[in-house]
Amino acid sequence: MKRFRAFLAAIALLSAAATATAGSLIIQPLNTVVNVGDSFDLEVRGQGFLETLVGGGFDFTFNGAALQLTGVSIAPIWEFVPAGGAIDNVAGTLTDASFNSFATPRSGDFDIATLSFKALALGLSEIALAASTLFVFSDVAGNEITPLFGKASVQVLGVPEPSTVAMMLAGFALLALTLGRRNRTVAGAT
């Protein structure tokens, strides 16, 4: 029984060590708040890769009712046939974006891509990265690497109606007028 427990503990340690060295794909910023009609960018970055990476690929999903993906730019450090992938704004997907470099493979933390969006409608969108089925991550020795894939969220808020803004400005003007009269009354009384 003790040997079995020791065996399970060893497997758990090896599993944790393998996960720790895999690195992660993250989206920055993690939480974004925009208004309907705004255009904005999110960054996909590699983080904590101990292996020297020659490239890989990713997919992601988003709320196509709230956001429109307008473009994907692979960072220039990935010079070998970068591809922005296939965008489907109706389904809210990007598939098979890929990046590769044989001149300067990367480890540690590095830029991968910029995702450009336009906010279409009120709502919350989780942007969830996933592995590409066509483009696997690999190191300089050709070994497949399985990174962790991160998520981010975008909250789309409504833009105030022009009548609401006008009403607010009128309220501030009335408040200023009232305070001005009060100050003149107090100054005249002294």
Of residues 177 and 21, more confidence is placed in: 177
What pLDDT does 180 receive? 66
pLDDT (0 to 100) of residue 161: 52
Structure tokens belonging to residue 76: 């220039």
DSSP letters for 30-69: SEEEEETT-EEEEEEEEEEEEEEEEEEEEEEE--TTTEEE
- Least confident stretch, 16-30, 115-129, 161-175: 161-175
The residue among 80, 75, 83, 92 whose CA lies nearest residue 58 is 83
The whole model's pTM is what? 0.73
> How far apart are alpha carbons 141 and 40 in whole angstroms?
37
DSSP structural state of residue 161: P
Q: Residues 87-138: pLDDT tens digits? A: 999 999 999 999 999 999 999 999 999 999 999 999 999 999 999 999 999 9
Please state which of the ranges 16-20, 61-65, 78-82, 180-184 shows the lowest mean pLDDT. Answer: 16-20
What pLDDT does residue 11 have? 47
Q: Where are the domains of the chain?
A: 23-173
* Per-residue model confidence as pLDDT tens digits over 2-20: 664 554 444 444 444 443 3
Q: To the nearest whole number, what is the mean pLDDT of the chain?
A: 85
Domain 23-173 falls in which CATH fold? Immunoglobulin-like (2.60.40)
